[in-house]
Chains A and B, each alone.
Chain A
């Protein structure tokens, strides 16, 4: 029986799983297809619901993983093949330095999510106007100090690509209500002269402190929430016109904006079905990895010895990805110890 665990994906879920296994005496091979660890967390500036310093936290967690003995980190590495069964898998790993074969007792899939490029949303002028950006681009703008200056008006658009059978996904991406509120607050903090608007269908912000966070956006930071899904963003000279129906009034409304931020969908990681094929595990109708049982076995894949962690199973916030990483680690430990 092999004492090692293979963790696929170096985002916060994979990092957490690797740390917990190693801290409990196991050995880990952590493979990451990119050059650096951190995943999407590393692209954020601040985190809801407390506006914590994202870079500081993710760097600390990466350092801890690197400093913990028993974790071998392989960047730019992908899985090519798997054989064997729980407790005794043989995996083929492909790195720039070549291919190698390893024996592992358990596998944890923590391949994360991909952020949807909302190119289908021509009605929002995405791809046409440089003033229409995604929420992930907004994080980058904030980190690089490029948020609009002066008396600027910024409009945040909920549910782009989510809750949209026609052009995106039927599911709700779960956390964009919360990060849009975070972005509106970040905007107001960075530039108190700016005006921030959020257009929503309904507000889904479930978690400790989340409702309070949204209320603070409205009450403390004076962010205006308008109920109605945005229908159009029209370029008009140097400005943008955002059109919607205020469904609480039952009347069409428009607002002139300098920047429009689209809360796009969190979708399955690129190549998730191929990876599932190599591993021999199931995905759901969208391509997220399928848990064996939603309620009490959220970390079990459809195959014994292969576990799931983080946003490769469904859209989720950092705290849930960490919790799942920890649970996947303890499941793996039962096989390798």
Chain B
């Protein structure tokens, strides 16, 4: 499928909410490597940012990723070299999706994910991923 690039989209809502421009993104993909859940995602956090920049709103709002992300973890933003609050970005996207009556998509991944897999401590990983930067952003 060929995507049509645009300039007007949900990106503006997101940028206003986080108080930062998404143009800060270095396109380095460190976030996706730092996330403990990206193997369950349909979009990596970097792809969400990229899609937002080019206003592929539907792609992002229909994704599973925005629902699976952001529960007590922030492995992505703890290592982001420009400090983009990915956690908050996903929270804004969930709100926007709800406003548009888009059905949340929580079910797909294994339950293990909710119990242990999300927690870096249980996986004996580096402290960066244990950081709570960004705090809780449970969807409403």
Contacts and interface: CB of A to CB of B under 8 A. Distances in A.
Nearest to A231: B33
A231 B31 contact: yes
A166 B29 contact: no
A229 B83 contact: no
A245 B44 contact: yes
A245 B46 contact: yes
B137 interface: no
Interface string A111-155: 000000000001111000000000000000000000000000000
Q: Which residue of B28, B47, B79 has the most chain A CB atoms within 10 A of its CB atom?
A: B28
B21 to A, nearest CB: 14
A165 interface: yes
Contacts of A253: 33
A79 to B, nearest CB: 36
A97 interface: no
B125 interface: yes
B39 interface: yes
Nearest to B38: A252
Interface string B24-39: 0011111111110011
A247 B33 CA distance: 9
Contacts of A244: 29-30, 32-33
A165 B82 contact: yes
A229 B34 CA distance: 10
Contacts of B128: 122-123, 232
Interface residues of A, number: 28
Interface string A222-258: 0000011111111000000001110100111100000
Interface in B1-50: 26-35, 38-39, 43-44, 46-47
A71 B35 CA distance: 57
B127 interface: yes
B125 A232 contact: yes
A281 B2 CA distance: 55
Contacts of B43: 250
A166 B28 contact: no
Interface in A141-179: 159, 163-168
A165 B126 contact: no
A316 interface: no
Nearest to A230: B33
Interface in A194-237: 201, 227-234
Interface string B74-85: 010011111100
Contacts of B27: 201, 247
B129 interface: yes
Interface string B83-123: 10000000000000000000000000000000000000000
Contacts of B125: 232, 234
Contacts of A245: 29-33, 38, 44, 46
Contact of B81 (A166, A232, A243): A166
B29 A123 contact: no
Q: Which 4 A-B pairs have the closest CB atoms?
A: A231-B33, A245-B32, A231-B34, A123-B128
15 contacts: A123-B34, A123-B126, A123-B127, A125-B126, A163-B26, A165-B83, A166-B80, A229-B28, A231-B30, A244-B29, A245-B32, A247-B46, A250-B32, A250-B43, A251-B44
Interface of A: 122-125, 159, 163-168, 201, 227-234, 243-245, 247, 250-253
Interface of B: 26-35, 38-39, 43-44, 46-47, 75, 78-83, 124-129
Given A123-B129, A227-B29, A243-B34, 4 more contacts: A159-B28, A166-B82, A234-B124, A250-B44
